[in-house]
Structures are given as C-alpha cells and as structure tokens.
Amino acid sequence: MSKLSKAYRPQKHEDKIYQKWEESGYFNPDNLNLPDDAPSYTIVLPPPNITDKLHLGHSSMLAIEDLLIRFHRMNGYRTLWIPGTDHAAIATQNVVEKKLLREKNLTRHDLGREKFLEKVWEFLRETQNTILKQTRKMGASLDWSRESFTLDKQRQKAVTQMFVDMYKEGVIYRGERIVNWCPRCHSTLADDEVEHAEQRAKFYTFKYWKGFPISISTTRPETKIGDTAVAVNPKDERYQKYIGQEFEGNFCGVPLKIKIIADREVDMNLGTGALGVTPAHSMVDWKMAEDNKLEIKKVIDEDGKIHQEFGEFSGLTAKKAGELIIKKLKANNLLEKEEEIDNALSTCYRCDTAIEPLPSKQWFVSVNKKIKRLKNKSLREKAIEVVRGKEISFIPGRFEKQYINWMENLHDWCISRQIWFGHQIPVWYKNTDNKHNKRIGEEIYVGITPPKNKEQWTQDPDVLDTWFSSGMWTFSTLGWPDNFKNGEKTGDLAKFHPTQVLETGYEIITLWVSRMIMMSLFSLGEIPFENVYLHGMVLDEKGDKMSKSKGNGINPIEVINEFGTDAVRLSLLIGNTPGNNLRIGGEKIAGMRNLINKLWNITRYIEDTFNISDLDNNTLTEKISPIMNKKTITLADKWILLEFNELSQQITVDIKNYRFSDAGENLKDFTWNKLADWYLEISKIEKNKNDKQVILKYILKNLLILWHPFIPFVTENIWGKIFTENNLLLVEPWTKESTIIGGEKATQNNFNILQKIITEIRNVRAQYRMSTNQDIELIIYTHQKNHFLENSQEILKNLKTKISKITIAENGLKINKAHYSTINGLEIYIPLNNIINLDEEKNRLSKEIQQTTNFIKTLDKKLSNENFINNAPKGIIDKEKEKLASQKNKLKNLNKYLEDLT
C-alpha cells in the first residue's frame, strides 16, 4: 500500500484510472463472472451526432447514466451500457456542404452524389473520434466492444429489413402529401424540425374579382392563384346562402373556379370569417380539399418559384409574385384593407429559411393502419396503450400526459428526405427518369437486395429520416435482425432487451422516444425500455441558456482540465432533478472540487492517525456488531455508526428512485459535516483508538463504495491505495446493511442535544467577540438524574468551546449577567461577568439595536411604497422582504442578549 500524497491532483490520475478500468474488461457484462440468473440492466446511450463536440448537456447525461450503470454493476446486475454515434443525415450533410462552399466554393451538385458522399465520409472519420474520446474523459463506463454507428453495416442491414417489413405489412406507403419543404435545403422536414417565430406581417383583405360575393383575407396573396374554394363556418349567417355554390372568374389574370364550402374549423371572427382554400400549400386546406373533393392546383415549386401555368407570374419568386398581385388588386380597386398583424412564421431548423408547404410524393409510415401482428391495432394505439398500461413509466410522471397528448394527435410520419447522406431508400423504379414527382405509375421493387437486371432499375435517390435509424437503437445495437428468428430473441437481444432506462432530454420525446416505442413494438412486439428518465437543460448560474454569442458557455473539457472530472460530474448531479433545468457555474464546480479534496484529506488523516492498514479489510463488517457492546464505546462512536447505517440505506433508496441530487447532498452532508466536522474532531479527544480504528476503516471503505457512482476516479484512487490494488472498486459489491442493534433513537437524540449545546457555545463566543484563548464557564441544569451529559464533559469542554469549568446539576438558581438559553428542556448558562466589559457590551448592543431598528424602518417604508411594489421586478421585492425578515430576527436576538447582561 502506498501512502496518499499531500494534495489530490485529479489531472495526474484520471486518464490512468480510466485505462485500468478499460483494460479490466468489466465494462463488458460478459466478463463480470455473474451467476446465470443475474438480472440484466441495460441502457443505450443516446447517440450524439458525429459532428458533435462534448457540451455540458452531454456531460450531464453521461454523469446520470454512468451513475445508474455503476450502481447496478456494483449491485450484481448484468450491466450493459451501449455506446454509439448518430450519422444525423441532414445535420451532417449541412455541415459538409457549408464547409465545401466556404473552402472550395463548390456545391454538392458540382461534385455529384458519389464524390460528395466521399467527402462526407472523409469528414466523418475526422470528427467521429472527438466525441468518443471526450465521452471517455467523463469516466463513462461504456462497453466499447459493442460500439455502434447508425450508418454502419449492421445498422444498414437492420434499417433495410425494417423498411421492407413495414412495406410488406402496408405500414410504409408512398403518397402525395403536403410536406414542410425547405426551398434552401431542398428537403422535407418533419413537423418537429420546423421552428416557429412570431413576426409582423401584412394582412390583406380583398375580393377575387368584382361581383364575387365574399371578401377573404390572407398574408400570402401569391398562393391565392391556386385557390379552388372559399371555406366559411356553417353557422355564419352572412354566408350560409352561398354554401355549395360555384363561381367562375378572373383573378389578376388567372382564371379561377371557386366553390363555397362549409367547415366548422373556420374562425368566424378572424378577418372576414371566410377562408380562401389553397389545397396545395397548406396542411389545413389539403385536408379540406380531400373532404370536399376539390381540385388541387400547385402554385409554388421546389425552388420557391411560381409554376409555369400562371402566365406573367410564372417563374417569379413567391415574394415578387405576391407584390405583383397586390399591385394589380390596388389598380382594380379590389383591395379593401391592408393591416399589420402578428403572424407565426415557420422556418427550417437547420437554415432558418421560411418553410413552404408543398405537395410532394414521399414515403410515409402510417400510424393509423391496423396491423395484424399488433392484434389489429395501429402503431399509434399500441404506443399509447403501453404507456397507459404502465409498461413504460416516465420520470417525472408529468411527461406521460404530454406523450399521450402528442400521440393522440399524431400524423403519419414522412420518412423520406431529399438529401444524399443517410440510408438510401431500398426501393427501385423501372425505366423512369429520376426526377422527383415524375414516378407515378411506374413499376416498383422493394427489397433487401437490389433487383435482378439492375441496369433496368433506378434506386430511389432519397434517404431516410435520421430518426428512422435511431428509432431502432435499442434493438439494432443488440443484433437485430440476426438475433431474431421466428419471433424468438437470441444472443444479446434475448439477454438485454427490453432495456431498463432511456435517459434523454424532454425536448425529444416526440422526435425520438415515441418512434423508438413504435418501432420496437412493430418489430419485436415488445417495449424498447421500461423507464424514460427525462433531464432538463443545463443553464448558467443566473439561469440563462448557455450560448456562444452571450459568451456564458462552459466547455466541459476546459473545466475537467481545471477541476477534474469528478468535480464536474458532481456539479452536474447535485441540484439536478428530473425534468427540471440545472444551473451551473465555475463557483459550483470549484465547491465540488473542495469537497473531493476534503474526502482525500479525511482519508489521509484516518490513515496517518489510526494505522488502518494494519487491519484486515475483509472482516470489517463482522467486527462492527460486537464493538457496539463494548464498554469503551462512546456516544459519538455509536452515533456515527448509526448515522452511517442510515445513510447507506438512504442512498440506495434515493438512487433506485432517481433522486440523484438528494443522494449527493446526503453523502456530502455525512462526509463533510457529520464525519469530518464532528466525529473526527471528537476522535482527537476520546481515547479508545482501537475501537475507532475499526469504526473508521469500516466507514471509509463503505463510504467509498457509496460515493463511487458519483465520483468514480478519486474513490477508485483511494481504494487502490488504502484497500486493495487487486480488486477494482468498479466491481466491488455494494454495501450490505450492517446489523447494528439497540438504542438507535436515544443515541441519535442524545448526540443531537450535544451538538446543539456545542453550537450554542460557539455562537455565544462569536457574538461576544471572545478571543480564542478566553476560558469560559458552563452551567447546565438538566432537571433529571444521571443525565447522559455527565459522560460527555470532555467533548463539551474541548470541541472548539474552550470551557474551563462545567457544572452539571439537576437544578439551581437563575444566574444573572450570563447568556441564557434552553435546549431540549435543559437550562444553559454561560456567565459573562468578568469575561466581557458589561457596560461596553451593553453600549455596543444598544447602538446595534438602534441601527437595526432604523434599518427596519427604512425597509418597511420601501416595501409600503406602492411605486416600488408596482414597478420593481419580483426578484428584487422578494429580496427586500427577505432582508426585512432577517433584520427583525436579528433585532429579537439583540434584545435578548441585552436582557441577559442585566
């Protein structure tokens, strides 16, 4: 055994310790030497994008998941944590496109598909390792032998199989739908990839032509050349008589045929209460067109320009066309009103370009198709059922409702994307030109392998939505489809699926969590995970979002280099509660670094003072019960053992219930307050060193075990130096409840009284500004015989109290000119005569009372000032109220002190 160095430098140890863990092979559950019936515990790491660099959000996720993994590994579970990365189709392609444009002034079309994809893979090889290296830096005990990538060979096989299976069941279909189209990315976007921003927009009210009976309003006049109906509310008396009629006319040079239809969704109070229906360019209007069998006229093309059939508007950008229409409406006196309103603008989440809703031929996953293998339920119904039936639980529970709401309103999922990087759709078309939207009626082949006579076929150029492959993450990483034959799971899939916890951000419940549930139900007939733990966002110490432009971001690698990984992990765990945002700053991390140093110093003190290396490690627990009955055992000894026993039970319960922050706080309080500030201080006074040697080694050993999932590096380091270098703490069994019997409550109560008296004495010394070598006297009236305090006199005298004389009596006279207080029915006196100059002290107190009274008056005045109350921010008002309460309390104490002196 080597002695601990004076100061702990995490930077010197952490990489070496991680290497030791990795080389041990224990990250892989196959090497854990477990009995065959050991339960499994599996988490899949939400795969970061290959282009990501570690940010605090990742770090927080890694800290939480690693805590769960280490806890379960130590508790004898077949514990597996699967690492991997996401190819993030559109995001990655965008990064490479931008880079290409910046560095070589080329677009992807200049290079062509094959050359461009080579560039993407080249880029990917550079970036992918960064995030994986940084993940190791966080101490994540992931099974690297099972590392996966959403676009590697095995995952390609799985994705193709899934597509073909779903197509055969009729779940995947091709159809024309309004999609969110980004004219810049030239791609469809999922509903969740569309961002919404409020903006001011012009709202025009006009008639299509003179004599048309109804005025309509719009913010998009250019789309109105594609109108085929006007929708009104069936209850609207103004328009009832027109419902069902058809009108023909000429709108700014474009012939239109308009049918008046009724729709209950139309808002009678918005604009004129009548809605021009443009089926090809609005989701809502598309639905109306389907219900009313309206003609669908496409106005805007994939580049955001007007189609050819519209005369002088053809080829104009949408914006230009809109301006021209307004000009014409004005010239013909058809424009009735022009106002500014707040309007929700939809933009692309990648490039902020305004979204153009367009009809397009796309591949969809039907969420409403009844599926035989799901007992004639749809994906949507089944995915709701497993959450309602509590097969899957959300932590915190409030997100369950959000999930169900979302699922109840779920639309079919558009899975094709018009980009090149990703899983190319396994569909081939015979003898077609390859342009979008020109494939109607052609012969289709859908298969795992390409069709025969390949040269006659052309593969669909589109790729799948990236969530299609990450939606299969829990089982594609466990060997599906190879490990699934005739409805039977084999190999890893049988051992580790369903997984136990999915830990992720609440913002991707809809994008990812819901899809994982549907895809696992479809392919395996079972849930992907039993629990969904949702973490919040990581914010700066003021509660603001971290961002580059604000410069308030924290780079985890920088703070790891400065404070060590353990300190960063602990800052991300303490104060972190499920579903809520977490605040963190340099001060918090530094505080956690101090706590880790404290643990190091505690260990050094115990090692130096009690020769604990002389003691056998393996029989410590057995020695504890007999020690409790020894005559030499003290109140403090019993107290610390009972406190530790309680702590170890509490930590286990907290972690099982996902209360990581509470567990961390409890460990911190025990280590710093109970163990270091109280017990170790007392151990300097009490003489039973042999008992304390056993007690302290027992507590230290088990405390390291409890701390390990939170701060794995420093605990492993101490473990190797103090306990054994042969067995890693990583796989040490979790603490067993030790059998400590008898007198628990009384022991704890008595020790708490002792603590209160000592704290009171220290407060009095501070209040009267006594010097550290000033002796004082203590008199306690217990009001009962043989009080336990009689055996605790040495502690009362010497624990930073500097008491020269103690009198403990059943009863006695009231003592004047002394500080007086009562604690749990005990009367406590500390005589002040001869110790302080009473007159001076009275003067000082009177002055302070006067000052405090004045300050309270000022605060009262401020808080009764209506101007202040109505205008100041709530935070400031609350602060002032807090100040007032604390000043009033201070005044009460000062008056009491003054009274004691007379």
Q: Which of residues 346-385 bind Zn ion (CB under 5 A)?
A: 348, 350-351, 353
Nearer to Zn ion by C-beta: 304 or 586? 304
**What x/- string results for residues 292 through 331 when contact with Zn ion is judged by CB under 5 A?**
----------------------------------------
Of residues 738, 759, 732, 741, the one with CA closest to residue 644 = 738
Closest distance to Zn ion from the beta carbon of 344 (Å): 18
> CA torsion angle for 761, 763, 767, 769 (degrees, to 10)?
70
424 within 8 A of 459, measured Cβ to Cβ:
yes
Cα 493 to Cα 347, 466, 815: the distances in Å are 40, 23, 78
Closest distance to Zn ion from the beta carbon of 317 (Å): 16
97 within 8 A of 89, measured Cβ to Cβ:
no
Nearer to Zn ion by C-beta: 181 or 512? 181
Q: Is 537 exposed, middle or buried (0-12, 13-18, 19+ CB in 10 A)?
A: middle
Closest distance to Zn ion from the beta carbon of 275 (Å): 28
**φ, ψ dihedrals at 660, nearest 5°:** -65, -35
**What x/- string results for residues 168 through 207 when contact with Zn ion is judged by CB under 5 A?**
--------------x-xx----------------------
Nearer to Zn ion by C-beta: 180 or 272? 180
Closest distance to Zn ion from the beta carbon of 223 (Å): 20
Nearer to Zn ion by C-beta: 189 or 789? 189
Nearer to Zn ion by C-beta: 68 or 185? 185
Residue 466 backbone class (left: φ over 0; alpha: ψ -120 to 50; beta: rest) = alpha
Nearer to Zn ion by C-beta: 181 or 364? 181
Closest distance to Zn ion from the beta carbon of 647 (Å): 53
Nearer to Zn ion by C-beta: 383 or 419? 419
Place of tokens 């052609």: 442
Nearer to Zn ion by C-beta: 360 or 634? 360
Closest distance to Zn ion from the beta carbon of 120 (Å): 17
Closest distance to Zn ion from the beta carbon of 537 (Å): 24
Closest distance to Zn ion from the beta carbon of 184 (Å): 4
Nearer to Zn ion by C-beta: 181 or 496? 181
**φ, ψ dihedrals at 189, nearest 5°:** -125, 145
Nearer to Zn ion by C-beta: 189 or 260? 189
Helix H or strand E encompassing 682: helix 681-683
Closest distance to Zn ion from the beta carbon of 357 (Å): 14
CA–CA separation, 640 vs 409, rounded Å?
56
Closest distance to Zn ion from the beta carbon of 49 (Å): 17
Nearer to Zn ion by C-beta: 203 or 349? 349
Helix H or strand E encompassing 458: strand 457-459
Count of positions on this chain that bind Zn ion (CB under 5 A): 7
CA–CA separation, 204 vs 207, rounded Å?
10
Helix/strand/coil for 228? coil
Nearer to Zn ion by C-beta: 353 or 393? 353
Q: Which stretch binds Zn ion (CB under 5 A): 95-103, 214-222, 341-349, 376-384?
A: 341-349
Nearer to Zn ion by C-beta: 351 or 877? 351
Nearer to Zn ion by C-beta: 350 or 765? 350
Bridge partner list, 776 = 803
Q: Which stretch binds Zn ion (CB under 5 A): 75-83, 297-305, 343-351, 380-388?
A: 343-351
CA–CA separation, 1 vs 488, rounded Å?
51
Kindly give, in sequence order, each residue whose CB lies less than 8 Å from that of residue 761, ignoring residues fewer than 6 positions away. 776, 778, 796, 801, 803, 830
Q: Where are the alpha helices (DSSP H) in 339-397?
A: 379-388
CA–CA separation, 123 vs 117, rounded Å?
10
Nearer to Zn ion by C-beta: 190 or 266? 190
Buried residues in 658-668 as b, exposed as e (16+ CB within 10 A): bbbbbbbebbb
Strands (E), 183-311: 187-189, 194-206, 216-218, 229-232, 246-251, 254-262, 274-277
**φ, ψ dihedrals at 508, nearest 5°:** -115, 25
Of residues 425, 431, 414, the one with CA closest to residue 462 = 425
Q: Which of residues 45-104 bind Zn ion (CB under 5 A)?
A: none
366 within 8 A of 242, measured Cβ to Cβ:
no
Q: Which stretch binds Zn ion (CB under 5 A): 54-62, 75-83, 290-298, 345-353?
A: 345-353
Closest distance to Zn ion from the beta carbon of 417 (Å): 11
Closest distance to Zn ion from the beta carbon of 356 (Å): 11
Q: Does 762 bind Zn ion (CB under 5 A)?
A: no
Closest distance to Zn ion from the beta carbon of 432 (Å): 27
Closest distance to Zn ion from the beta carbon of 304 (Å): 11
Closest distance to Zn ion from the beta carbon of 188 (Å): 10
Strands (E), 349-456: 356-365, 393-395, 413-414, 416-417, 427-430, 444-446
CA–CA separation, 399 vs 403, rounded Å?
6
For 171, other C-beta atoms within 10 Å of its C-beta total 23
CA–CA separation, 581 vs 542, rounded Å?
12
Footprint of Zn ion (CB under 5 A): 182, 184-185, 348, 350-351, 353
